[in-house]
Structures are given as C-alpha cells and as structure tokens.
Structure 1
Amino acid sequence: MAITTFAQMIDFLENFTNLEKQTDNYTTRTYRLDRMAKLLAHLGNPERSFKKIHLAGSKGKGSTATYLATALTASGERTGLFLSPHLSDYRERFTLAGTFFEDAFLVQVGNQLIKAVSTFTFTDQWGPTTPTTFELFCAYAYLLFKEAECSWAVIETGLGGRLDATNTIEAEAVVLCPIELEHTKILGNTIEEIATEKSKIIKDGQPVFIGYQDPRAMEIFLGEARANHAPVHRLDRALVALDSKTTEGGEAVTYRWADRAEQQLLLSMRGSVQAQNSALALLVLRTLGFNESMFLEAFCKNTAPGRFQQLGSHPDLYVDGAHTAHSLSALLSSFSTLHTADKTTIIYGALEDKDHVHMVHSVLQHASKIIISRPGTYKKSNIVALKALFDELATENHQIMLIQENDEALAYAYAHTPSDGAILACGSFYLAGGIKEALERREGLGEPQLA
C-alpha cells in the first residue's frame, strides 16, 4: 500500500486500535512498552537521532511544551514537537515547533512507515498483535523529526506515563506538570495513584523539572527521582513569587527568581495558568544552558491552539481546552477579568470521567447563559446527564440549554450574546475543536483540513 495524501495516512493510522477513544480498560495487552520498543527497533530507532525533553502531567503540559519548542527553535535548534490531542487538524500533533510539515514530506515519511509496518510482527502469550494508533503516531513523529534533521524534540505523553508509548525514549530532561484527578478509570482514583503513573517517565540520572504540585504528588515525584538518582529542579524552590494579570494585550507576568532576578514579560497566551507554564519552561531552559537573549522575544509571542484562543470579535469568541477542575477554574477566573457574567455565554461540554460537580459549579459562577453541547464523538460523553447536573445546581438567574450540535450551539450563542459581550467554549479540547470548525463553516471557510 502506498499513499498519495496525508488524509490517506490518517486513514491508515486510524485503522489500528485507537486507545484515545477509550476511557477505561487499562490492560497490559493494549498499554505496554515492549511492543513500542520493538517497533522503534524495527524502524532503526529514529528517536535516538535527536535530543529530547519529555513531559507528563494532568494540565499545562501542552502549553509548556510549546514554550520549550519555540525557545529551542529561536535558539537555533531545529525542533520537533509532538502533542496530543489535536484541536482541528491532525498535523498539529507533529510539527516543527508549531509549523506544519509540507504535505509532500508527510506523505513521503508516511510511506516509509507504512512499508516498515507491513513487515512488523509482535507476538505475546495471547498471539499476534499489532501496534496501536498512538504507538504509530509516536513512531511517525520520530521518523518525521529524524528525516527533517531535528536536533531537539519536545515530546508530550499521551496518557499517564508508565505505559505510555512515549516512555520508550531516553530524554535530556523530564518535565512534570501539575497533577490533578483525571482519567480515573485508567490511572487511579487518587492523586497518589495518578502521580505514580506519571512519575515513571523519570529515568536513571536524567534531570527532573517539577512544576507546582499538590504535596501528595510532589512526595511521589521526589521519591521516584531519588530511586533513579535523578537531579531535581523544583519550580516552587526556583521562584520566590509569581504574579500575573490577564489583559487585552496578553498575560502580564512578573517572575521573581530565588537568585534575586526579576523578569516582567507580556505573554501572547492569556490566562494565569500560562504564568506557571512559562515559568516551568524558563526553569528548564535556564538549567539546560540556553541564552534567554536569543529566545525571549519568540517565547513571549508563543501561541498554541485551544489555549484561551480568541477566534472572533463583536462578540468576542474564545475556545479553550481546559478539562480539569482546577484548570477550568483558573481559565474562568482569568476570563472574568475581561468579561462580565451578565454578557457572557458559555458553550460547555465535557467527557466522562471528569470532576463534573466542581467543574459545573465553576461554570455557573461565571456566566448566566450556558449552552451544553456535545464534545465531539471521539470519546464518550453524556450531555443529557450533564444538563441535568446543571439544572440541579443552577439558580433562577441561570439559563441552561442543551443544544447537541456545535454549529447550532454557536449560532444560538451569537444570536443571544450582545456584541460587546463574549462567548467562551470550554470543558474539552474536542468541544473547542468542534466550535472552531463550526465557526469556519459559518464564515464559509469550508471544512477544516484533516480534522
């Protein structure tokens, strides 16, 4: 089989077992490292051709990864960036620091992977098994980065860490972003269990950079680092204070470092969480010896799809993928500095296996008009049950609607939001992507590419 378009490559990859569409069944047959290790060996271990930074965490790892990749690129390093999930285009997953590869190159390397997979075999005690879609995404990214002659790559875990397909790499730095209850049916029901899963990306002697953490997660991370003789760099020790303010022009951040240095930056990505994400990235870059004078300008201009992203105005339209209780609360707090609840319409949708009660409470505090809409069909959700929860917790001052289709939800929001108000779509990256696609159809831009 040979492909001629990138869309055909995605069709090929999606024909395998796609664990991203599951919310449970964490089995050793589907989630394992030995099959991925053998696949990489079969490909000639392309991941060994560049230096790597490996990130795990419940929130902020995608944004932190983009800050790192942007800074490395500005420092003269050709840098690959592997992220998941994508917002509206599969090409977002494997880029040159956010810049898409040419389609011809994607096809060329895609055919290289397809040919190699056709001769790949793996057998366990239950019989022959094939790679998963995510394992092939990883392998594809590594081949792209190798063929593009990348000197560095920033790699984000897909789920957890211990049995994540990315956990077959040896990185120059491991970055652990904040931990929160998420994917509890797969990763565990406590902060400690989830932190343990994510801590397993720590390798022997590799430097570990730890963002702000729940004390229970911090204890797990420090214990794993000690067991692996890994030097630890903690953001809560490197920073004396971190202050930020969300403005129309961006996020104004003041960093007060323990070495008495003070920095003031205006970040293009808005939201208080970006202060933490950028600070963790700066700690990594400083420690690895990169010169801030080379990358700070690009660092401040860094953006990422679906992170407090403004797509329109009159009324302002934003999409954000915040999908945990704390990240959603932080988003809404920052959002409220720009827009009042009485002129805000929130389009909300969340997947199963989330902290729905706390997330719904946060939404109700920041908008009077709320539309529940389906966060795609990629993973399971129950928007009828979500609507019932909103009805139970709402007051008489709230207007709660259930509009399943994103196009109809966006049309209703535009029709019922004042021109000096705002519409915010949040709760899931899949919803954010769906609203972005709905906007493109509404504005006659056609179907988003390869969504």
Structure 2
Amino acid sequence: MGSVVGEKITRTIEYGTAERCAVVIIAASGGARMYEGMLSLMQMAKTSGALAQHAHERLPYISVLTNPTTAGVMASYASLGDVIIAEPRSMIGFAGPRVIKETTHQELPERWFDRHDCASQKTARRNQPIAQLLCYYAVNVGEASLARPSKAKEGVPQPPLTYKEALAWLYRLQRFGIKLGLENIRRLLAELHVDLRGTRVIHVAGTNGKGSVCAMIDSICRAQGYRTSMFISPHLVTFRERIHVNGEMISEDAVANSLTTIRNLVGDWDPHPTFFEVTTALALKYFSEVKLDVVILETGIGGRLDATNAIQSDVSVITRIDFDHEQWLGNTLAEIASEKAGIIKRGVPVVASPQRPEAEKVIRARAAECEAPLKFVPEPYDRSPIALRGDHQKQNAALAIAAICAAKIAIDEQAIARGLARIDWPARFQMWDKRTIIDGAHNPAAVCVLAQTWREIFGDQNATLVLAVLSDKDLRGVCEALAPIADSVLLPKMRSERAADPEELAKIFENVVSVCRAGASPAGNRSRCRTISITQSVGEALNLARAKPTPILVTGSLHFAGEVLAHLRGKPSAFEECAQ
C-alpha cells in the first residue's frame, strides 16, 4: 500500500467521520511496501489513526475482505472493522504463502488457509451472498450506531480533546460546507448558556476593511482602559488568532476544552453545525465566561444569515461594500448590500462608510425599515498617525471612532491617538522588512486599494509580485488590478485545497502587456512569458524574489499571507491551514 493509496483511504475515512456516516472498505491484495520504503510504512499510522477517530465518534466501519487480503493492507485497515465480512474461500492473513515459506523454511499444506476461511465464513453467515451481507450490516449496524445516544447523554463523559485533536475535529466540519442561517447557532448559544448582557457589542459587516476596523476599535478601547474581546476570520497562521480577549489570543487549553464541550453537545444534531457556527459559538462562549466591557464581532460572509447575527448588538457597522462571495450573496451590488445590511436591527444605531449609490440606497432603506439611526462617515481621520499604512486606513479609523461613539462608549482624544498608533494587524500592507510587503487583498476592489497604497509608498517603482489566489475569486479582476505595479510575477503553489492553479493565473498574466514583455527568464519559468514564473513552493518563490533588485509584494489571499508569514518566521509547520 503506497502513500497515494494510504492518503486516499485516510481522506475517505475522514469524510465519513465528518458526514457522520458508515465507512465500508473492500480490500484486496497487500504488501508491496518495499517499493516506497518508509513512506509506505507510515500509511498504517495514518489509516489506523483515522479509523480510531471514526470509532471515537461512535460511527461504524465495515471491512470486506476479498481474495487475497494480506500484509500491509490487512494490518493498516482491513482487520480493524467493527464488522468484518470475508469472501468465501479467500486467502486472508498477514503474510502470503511465499513469505511464510521463505521465513519458516517449511512446505505449507495444500489449502493451508482453510482455517482462516472457515472462521471468516462463520462470522459472515456461511451461505449468504456477500452483497446481501454488506447491505444488511451497512443498514442495520450503521443505523443502530448512529441512532445510539451519545456517551455524554448516557452520563459517561467522553475524554477531553487535546488542542490538536480539537482542531482536527473542527476542521473536519468544513466538509459540511457553508450553510447560511441562524437556527443552528441560536440553538447552540442557548444550550451553551451564552450571556453577553452587560457588555457593549459592536457588529461589523462589509466587503473590505472589516478586520482593520475591528482591530482599530479594539485598540482604541483598550487604550482607554476597557476590557475588550474580538472575533475575526479567517486567521493567518494559527486558529487562535480568531478569538482575542484584551489583545491576547485564546489559549490552546481553552480551545480544546470548549470544543470538547461542543463536540459532545452536537454529536447527534441534524443538521450538524458547520465549521463557522461552531467557531462562533466557541468565541461567544469564551467571551461570556470572562468579564468584558466591549465585544467586537466581524461577520464571516454577508450578515443577514451570518452566525454572528444571532447576537443582539449595540451598534451595526458597515464598511465599504463591493463584489465578493457572489455565489452566496448575489451577483449585483444591491443584492450583496441587502445581505450586508441584514445586520441592521430595530432601533440599533448604524454607522457606515461612504458607499456606491446602489449599496447606499439599500442601506438607507433597511435602516428606515428598522427605525435605526443611520450615519455615513465621509471624512477620513487625520488628527494623529495610524500604524496601518495607506490613505484608506484613515477612512477605516474614522468609521471605527464613529462606531465606538455610537455604542455610547466614552473615549478621549488621547486614547484614540494611542490606540491608532499601537495597532498590530498583520498582512495589511505589512512591511516584513525594508523591501518585502505582505497584504491579504483578495478581490479586485481590495487589490485596487493595495495598488494605490503601493504607489503612495514606493512611487513609480514596481514590484516583484508573489501571488496566490483562491479559485473562487475573480482571478482576472485580481490579476488585471495588480498588473500596473508588477515588474515580474512569481506564482507559487499555495497550501490550500481551494487554491487557484498557478498555470491558470499565468495564462491570465500572459495576456497583460504591461507584465508580459521581453526579459531574462527566471529559474523555474514554465510560462510563455519571460517575466512570469511558476514555482513549487513559497520558499522557492521568495528566494527568486530576493534575487531581484525590486521590492517584493506578497498578496492574493489572507490564507496565502498566513502561509508566507509562517515561512518567514521560520516555523512553516505552525501554519494551521484552513479552507474557511
């Protein structure tokens, strides 16, 4: 069993666990580990570990053995079934006749494996066809297992998860995809007894700038002496970045303990909560258990049906709205704005950035419908320095200050100045060193702002562009917006199942005249254009970029920015890859 087979089987098992369904594997043959050596030997740990987690979730695994099933296949997964069914008169064992003969130096009797065969036939109801047996066990054993009450409800507590185990369980929930709606999250918050009464809740939606506004609100309030919490997404390097209390990330133990509680609670829920619903519940439960003055919540996608909208807020904040996540929010600006404006609640003040006419019309209509006081904030803040670079951050700062005031949180000018000067918000035109910029811009509107900021800082000097984008984004829009500031382009493979193919990005850039021109071909170039190069890794791309005299711009995705930051910090294994 080679590494490719081992990986496919492991992913199949993990998918069954995430979907809470029975896993059936029909095995044949075995051995051949010697062809890959140590890599093949490692597969047994992967497959058996995945099956152990599947069993831990009280889900059935049915193993079907055909002729022959031996060696590594037998040890790695075929012998680990809750129910094992064997094909009549099949050869089943850890080793085949040749290996046994060569090891023992003895002749084997004819039909030497009949004893194994008879034992397996007794287990499998001797004369029943294997297809009937498989259906019988898959339906009856599977349904019985899934219908059993969880251990927690039987009064037997399940063992607590470690941080890595908890994160593995949570990440597997991404298999459920994105399901917008508030029913599940409201049930979760009720059963977890989440209570944020006594705190001021600031809820932030929009397309671009949400994270920066949240960070500014948090920093200003802490500078004034308030105890704050913040929930944002996605993370860059570690999942813990999503949940902050007073500027500190949630601890690994707190994540593990809370996710253990939630896992035990939702094991038999149908529909099962999604990754983002569980993450939101984790954050809000954590916030409710500590003494806080201010809670800052960033929406995940949209607003109206986003899990964060289950909480009653004291002010609704809407940053600039543009095109992104169209498959969920709609294909027109008005449709997208309608989803974002869904965070507006009856009688709750609203502050918003200046918007395009279609979006502004929708926001005004929703505010009027909810009788919510509405204020647009047109003037940028320019009374003190801001740690985040770019003129657009002055607009974000003005919105953050207006939000704090609308929530009736008392602040003074000194706290505003201190807070804005101290913001540490990575991957927002972050200057890693004198010639390396990291920015998480990932849609055409954000990339246009990034290009403007580049010109503000670097003037006419163009960048060595290191770019990776998620496949569900507007790839052409992103590439065309970056082209005017690109001297050359490096396209590494990003560690994400959602990553766009670098070859596809190269084809887009090949049609952009300002990028594709005559010049020396860099190492690893596989494009028709000499200034575009596809690399196998982040490390290779950065090494090629450093060999050039121009400043470096790393961008295209917050996920990619996180991978690069982990690499630059010398801890690539610390990157906790996540698709959402």
* 1:206-217 equivalences in 2 (<5 Å): 206-217=348-359
Q: Indicate the residue corresponding to 1:332 in structure 2.
A: 451
Contact 2:262–2:278 at 8 Å: present in 1 too?
no
How far apart, in 2, do the equivalents of 1:114 and 1:169 lie? 23
**Between Structure 1 and Structure 2, whose CA radius of gyration is higher?**
2
Q: Secondary structure at the match of 2:292?
A: coil
Q: Indicate the residue corresponding to 1:251 in structure 2.
A: none
How far apart, in 2, do the equivalents of 1:70 and 1:37 lie? 29
Contact 1:182–1:353 at 8 Å: present in 2 too?
no
Q: Indicate the residue corresponding to 2:377 in structure 1.
A: 235
Match of 1:149, as an amino acid?
A: K
**2:211 paired with 1:82:** no
Q: 1:117 to 1:41 in 2, by over 3 A?
A: farther
Q: 1:405 to 1:200 in 2, by over 3 A?
A: same
1:117-142 CA-to-partner distances (Å, cap 9, x unmatched) read 4134776xxxx221111111111111
Match of 1:92, as an amino acid?
A: E
**2:261 paired with 1:115:** yes
Contact 2:490–2:532 at 8 Å: present in 1 too?
yes
Q: Indicate the residue corresponding to 1:71 in structure 2.
A: 220
How far apart, in 1, do the equivalents of 2:576 and 2:482 lie? 31
Tell which deviates more after alignment, 136-145 or 399-408: 399-408
Match of 2:203, as an amino acid?
A: H
Shift of 1:271: 1.5
TM-score relative to the length of structure 1: 0.84
Q: Indicate the residue corresponding to 1:303 in structure 2.
A: 424
Shift of 1:160: 0.9
Q: Secondary structure at the match of 1:368?
A: strand
Match among 347, 350, 360 for residue 205 of structure 1: 347
Q: Indicate the residue corresponding to 1:7 in structure 2.
A: 164
Shift of 1:5: 4.0
**2:565 paired with 1:436:** yes
**2:543 paired with 1:411:** yes
Shift of 1:266: 1.1
Query: Cα RMSD between the aligned structures?
Result: 2.2
Q: Secondary structure at the match of 2:489?
A: strand
How far apart, in 1, do the equivalents of 2:306 and 2:450 lie? 28
Q: Indicate the residue corresponding to 1:250 in structure 2.
A: none
Match of 1:428, as an amino acid?
A: S
Q: Indicate the residue corresponding to 2:470 in structure 1.
A: 351
**2:501 paired with 1:382:** yes
Shift of 1:209: 0.7
Q: Indicate the residue corresponding to 1:186 in structure 2.
A: 328
How far apart, in 2, do the equivalents of 1:307 and 1:38 lie? 35
How far apart, in 1, do the equivalents of 2:466 and 2:373 lie? 43
Q: 1:79 to 1:279 in 2, by over 3 A?
A: same
Match among 401, 410, 424 for residue 290 of structure 1: 410
Q: Indicate the residue corresponding to 1:448 in structure 2.
A: 574
Q: Secondary structure at the match of 2:336?
A: helix
Match of 1:409, as an amino acid?
A: A
Tell which deviates more after alignment, 326-335 or 209-218: 326-335
Match among 499, 503, 513 for residue 394 of structure 1: 513
Contact 1:56–1:198 at 8 Å: present in 2 too?
yes
Contact 2:318–2:351 at 8 Å: present in 1 too?
yes
How far apart, in 1, do the equivalents of 2:541 and 2:566 lie? 12
Q: 1:375 to 1:283 in 2, by over 3 A?
A: farther
Match of 1:447, as an amino acid?
A: S
Shift of 1:412: 1.2
How far apart, in 2, do the equivalents of 1:36 and 1:68 lie? 25
How far apart, in 1, do the equivalents of 2:417 and 2:181 lie? 39
How far apart, in 1, do the equivalents of 2:477 and 2:184 lie? 39
Q: 1:326 to 1:111 in 2, by over 3 A?
A: same
Q: Indicate the residue corresponding to 2:392 in structure 1.
A: 273
Contact 2:203–2:298 at 8 Å: present in 1 too?
yes
Q: Indicate the residue corresponding to 1:245 in structure 2.
A: none
How far apart, in 1, do the equivalents of 2:199 and 2:268 lie? 26
Q: 1:388 to 1:80 in 2, by over 3 A?
A: same
Q: Indicate the residue corresponding to 1:366 in structure 2.
A: 485
Query: Relative contact order, CA 8 A, sep 6+: which one is greater?
Result: 1
Shift of 1:87: 0.9
Match of 2:173, as an amino acid?
A: F
Q: Indicate the residue corresponding to 1:144 in structure 2.
A: 286
How far apart, in 1, do the equivalents of 2:538 and 2:302 lie? 29
Tell which deviates more after alignment, 385-394 or 355-364: 355-364
Contact 1:78–1:150 at 8 Å: present in 2 too?
yes
Match of 1:386, as an amino acid?
A: L
1:7-49 CA-to-partner distances (Å, cap 9, x unmatched) read 3321221132456xx6xxx7xxx32211110111000124446
Shift of 1:431: 1.5
Contact 1:92–1:98 at 8 Å: present in 2 too?
no
Shift of 1:295: 3.7
Number of residue-to-residue matches in the alignment:
405
Q: 1:43 to 1:207 in 2, by over 3 A?
A: same
Percent identity between the two aligned chains:
29
Tell which deviates more after alignment, 387-396 or 7-16: 7-16
Contact 1:42–1:116 at 8 Å: present in 2 too?
no
Match of 1:210, as an amino acid?
A: A
Q: Indicate the residue corresponding to 2:551 in structure 1.
A: 422
How far apart, in 1, do the equivalents of 2:236 and 2:271 lie? 30
1:286-325 CA-to-partner distances (Å, cap 9, x unmatched) read 3334222334212222121211112223xx2111011121
Shift of 1:54: 0.5
How far apart, in 1, do the equivalents of 2:449 and 2:509 lie? 20
Q: 1:211 to 1:342 in 2, by over 3 A?
A: closer
Q: 1:121 to 1:37 in 2, by over 3 A?
A: farther
Q: 1:341 to 1:370 in 2, by over 3 A?
A: farther
Q: Indicate the residue corresponding to 2:301 in structure 1.
A: 159
